[in-house]
């Protein structure tokens, strides 16, 4: 079905043997990837985590799975080659138990979700296909990463956690996994307050900018400094940019200063899915796995991130037929466009992504599945696509 490619550290799959049947092709590529990959990261406290997987051809999830060792996890991935792979942010005494009561919850990490579907800057750098599928461009991903870095800085300054990890989800978003020992026992209500705080919801300006007492008279709230904690510090640079030299909020904005501060809080806040953060039983994607919605790697982007072919283990070229029109869009370093029925030769990472989204049908070509790039940029460039 495929051959080993020792000189390239991977394996080669011939596309034509699937005769345009996309799902078996994708399933075969995933199976090869998981059988040779060295990219899967072991979750901390692995025996205490619940795992969940969605297999190919099924809409449901296989849940309540646990692994005693990392090798057990790798063996499962190699044999099942799941479309999606998750583990719990929660720690359990018996993670394989079928109910929460039996699992015996021991605490949870914090998880923040930035979904680029809801980022205004992405509206012009995305395409909604006839099927309802949304494709996003590289500019949207870079804006999402900027927001993730901003949120990471807010979390590190205000929560002072043990560790914050930013990761690209392999599709159209970023997650932040926060390890915070003193936060692990927080219930849903406390987590909801944390989520609302960082989302800038229900932040009352008159409480975070109280007037200072000066004898019998109250003075107007002073302009905050950027070094101040909490929302005072986060909106300070916005005020400084809009009203340089002002000494008080009244001097800067007049009597409408509370409304102006609400506007600035909205500008400084990061649009997160608060439902994700407040749920202590949430699942998070396994680092190094493939996201079955886009076929890109779930990648640790804490230090750096840039879109490109390195975020896919699939290399080479694939001849593909477009199943629907696609206006020009830059995806992972390649500007792609096509019309229904048109044939093109595409870099494999683009063809596999578009096939996963139902935009193209792979016809022929060879795919090299890399074993160990793990999202790190590789040397060399991919030539532009050519028409068939």
| Domain residue spans of the chain | 2-188+275-377, 223-268
Centroid of chain to Cα 306: 13
Q: What is the pLDDT of residue 379?
A: 46
Please name every residue paired with 222 in a beta bridge, in sequence order, or none if there are none: 248
382 contacts 334 by C-beta, under 8 angstroms: yes
Helix pair 22-36, 348-356: axis angle to 10 deg: 120
- Please give the Cα distance from 168 to 121 (Å, whole number): 18
Q: What pLDDT score does 2 carry?
A: 55
Burial class (CB in 10 A: 0-12, 13-18, 19+), 256: exposed
Asked if residues 47 and 66 have their Cβ atoms less than 8 Å apart, the reply is yes
348 in helix, strand or coil? helix
Q: Please give the model's pTM, rounded to 2 decimal places.
A: 0.90
Of the residues 109, 125, 273, 300, only one is catalytic, namely: 273
Spatial CA neighbour of 320 closest among 341, 335, 334: 341
3-state DSSP of 213-249: EECCEECCCECCCCCCCHHHHHHHHHHHHHCCCCCEH
Q: What's the pLDDT at 9?
A: 60
Q: What secondary structure does DSSP assign to 12-68, as a single string? A: EEEGGGGTT-HHHHHHHHHHHHHHH---PPPPTTGGG--EEEE-TT-SS-EEEE--S
According to the model, what pLDDT value does residue 3 have?
60
Contact between residue 180 and residue 162 where contact means Cβ atoms under 8 Å apart: yes
What residues have CB less than 8 Å from 360, skipping those under 6 apart? 320, 321, 322, 323, 338, 346, 351, 354
pLDDT of residue 387: 36
Characterise 235 by phi-psi region: left (phi > 0), alpha (psi -120 to 50), beta (else): alpha
Nearest to 151, CA basis, from 280, 270, 301: 270
pLDDT score at 372: 65
Q: pLDDT at position 288, please? A: 95
- Residue-level pLDDT at 55: 97
Are 268 and 17 a contacting pair, CB within 8 Å?
no
Q: Which position among 109, 113, 138, 300 bears the catalytic label?
A: 113
Q: pLDDT value at position 1?
A: 59
Which ranges of the chain have pLDDT less than 70?
A: 1-9, 212-218, 372-373, 377-388
Pick the catalytic residue from 109, 115, 138, 319.
115
Residue pLDDT, tens place only, 127-176: 998 888 899 999 999 999 999 999 999 999 999 999 999 999 999 999 99
* 115 among known catalytic residues: yes
pLDDT at position 132: 86
* CATH numeric code, 2-188+275-377: 3.90.920.10
Q: Is 147 helix (H, G, I), strand (E, B) or coil?
A: helix
Backbone φ and ψ for 272, nearest 5 degrees, come out as: -110, 160
SS3 of residue 369 by DSSP: strand
22-72 pLDDT, tens digit per residue, is 999 999 999 999 999 889 999 999 999 999 999 999 999 999 999 999 999
């Amino acid at each position: 079905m495929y051959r080993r490619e020792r000189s390239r550290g991977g394996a080669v799959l011939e596309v034509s043997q699937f005769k345009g049947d996309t799902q078996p092709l994708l399933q075969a590529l995933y199976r090869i990837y998981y059988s040779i990959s060295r990219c899967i990261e072991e979750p901390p406290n692995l025996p205490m985590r619940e795992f969940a997987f969605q297999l190919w051809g099924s809409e449901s999830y296989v849940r309540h799975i646990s692994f005693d060792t990392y090798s057990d996890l790798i063996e499962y991935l190699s044999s099942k080659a799941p479309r999606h792979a998750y583990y719990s942010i929660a720690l359990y005494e018996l993670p394989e138990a079928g109910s929460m009561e039996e699992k015996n919850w021991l605490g949870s990490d914090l998880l923040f979700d930035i979904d680029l579907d809801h980022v205004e800057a992405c509206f012009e750098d995305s395409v909604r296909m006839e099927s309802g599928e949304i494709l996003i461009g590289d500019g949207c991903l870079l804006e999402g990463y900027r927001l993730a870095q901003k949120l990471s800085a807010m979390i590190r300054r205000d929560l002072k956690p043990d560790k914050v990890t930013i990761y690209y989800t392999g599709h159209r978003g970023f997650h932040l996994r926060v390890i915070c020992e003193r936060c692990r026992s927080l219930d849903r209500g406390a987590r909801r307050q944390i989520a609302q705080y960082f989302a800038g919801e229900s932040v009352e300006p008159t409480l975070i900018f109280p007037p200072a007492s000066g004898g019998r008279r109250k003075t107007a709230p002073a302009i905050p400094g950027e070094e101040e904690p909490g929302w005072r510090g986060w909106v300070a640079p916005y005020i400084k940019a809009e009203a340089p030299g002002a000494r008080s909020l009244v001097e800067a904005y007049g009597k409408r200063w509370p409304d102006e501060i609400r506007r600035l809080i909205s500008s400084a806040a990061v649009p997160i899915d608060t439902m994700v953060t407040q749920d202590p039983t949430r699942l998070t994607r396994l680092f190094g796995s493939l996201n079955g919605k886009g076929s890109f790697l779930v990648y640790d982007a804490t230090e750096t991130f840039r879109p490109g072919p390195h975020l896919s283990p699939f290399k080479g070229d694939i001849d593909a037929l477009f199943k629907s029109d696609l206006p020009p869009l830059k995806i992972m370093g390649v500007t792609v466009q096509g019309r229904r029925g048109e044939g093109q030769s595409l870099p494999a990472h683009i063809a596999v992504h578009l096939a996963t989204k139902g935009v193209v049908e792979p016809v022929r070509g060879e795919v090299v599945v890399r074993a160990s790039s793990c999202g790190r940029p590789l040397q060399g460039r991919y030539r532009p696509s050519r028409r068939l």
